[in-house]
Amino acid sequence: MKITFKAAGSEDRTIEVHGSLTLMEAAVRHGIDEILAECGGACSCATCHVYVPDEWLAVTGEAGGMELELLECVEARRPGSRLSCQINLSPAMDGLTVELPPA
Ligand code: FES
Which residues have C-beta atoms less than 6 Å from ligand 1?
Answer: 24, 37-39, 41-48, 83, 85
Q: What is the pLDDT of residues 28-73, one digit of tens each?
A: 999 999 999 999 999 999 999 999 999 999 999 989 899 999 999 9
Per the structure, the complete domain to which residue 85 belongs is given by 2-99
- The rounded Å distance from CA 42 to ligand 1 centre is 6
What domain count does the chain have? 1
Residue in 33, 60, 62 with CA at minimum distance from that of residue 48 = 33
Give the CATH number, domain containing residue 89.
3.10.20.30
Read off the pTM: 0.96
Tell me which DSSP letter residue 100 carries: P
- The rounded Å distance from CA 5 to ligand 1 centre is 17
